[in-house]
């Protein structure tokens, strides 16, 4: 019996935890369940919350800071392979509404990390 190490072993562990994608804003890798998929629908950027819309998708954290970084870097045009940088105004509104519903405030995901933890003892 031959024991293999290297890419095959790390690939098997990645399958156990789920698919990994890269956020186009902060360029960090995360499980696809932690990121939002964005596609071009009818010529405009749109959130694909069900992850079922056709076409190439770009992945981003549900964080307005990551959206700002992606806009500055013009990452949407590269990730979605379009010639002209798409307008992100509508997407920003959708993301702000989603963040507001999720956190109960208008702050980004970073605000969640600042909560005080309660000692269970």
Sequence-separated (6 or more) residues with CB below 8 Å from residue 90: 44, 45, 46
Mean pLDDT of the region 54-61: 96
Mean pLDDT of the region 21-38: 96
In the three-class reduction of DSSP (H, G, I as helix; E, B as strand; rest coil), residue 29 is classed as: strand
Residue 88 structure tokens: 């992100």
Q: How far apart are CA 97 and CA 116, in angstroms?
A: 25
Percent of the chain, pLDDT > 90?
60
pLDDT at 96: 93
What CATH number does the domain located at 18-105 have?
Answer: 3.30.1230.10
Give the residue extent of every domain in the chain: 18-105
Give CA angle at 59 (54, 61), nearest 5°: 140
Tens digits of per-residue pLDDT, 60-110? 999 999 999 999 999 999 999 999 889 999 999 999 999 888 877 544 444
């Amino acid at each position: 019996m031959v024991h293999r190490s290297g890419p095959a072993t790390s690939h098997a562990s990645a399958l156990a935890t789920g698919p990994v994608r890269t956020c186009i804003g902060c360029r960090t890798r995360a499980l696809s369940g932690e990121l939002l998929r964005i596609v071009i629908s009818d010529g405009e950027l749109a959130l694909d919350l069900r992850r079922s819309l056709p076409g190439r998708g770009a992945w981003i954290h549900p964080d307005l800071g990551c959206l700002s970084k992606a806009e500055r870097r013009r990452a949407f045009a590269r990730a979605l392979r379009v010639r002209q940088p798409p307008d992100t105004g509508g997407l920003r509104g959708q993301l702000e509404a989603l963040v507001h519903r999720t956190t109960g405030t208008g702050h980004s995901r970073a605000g969640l990390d600042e909560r005080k933890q309660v000692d269970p003892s």
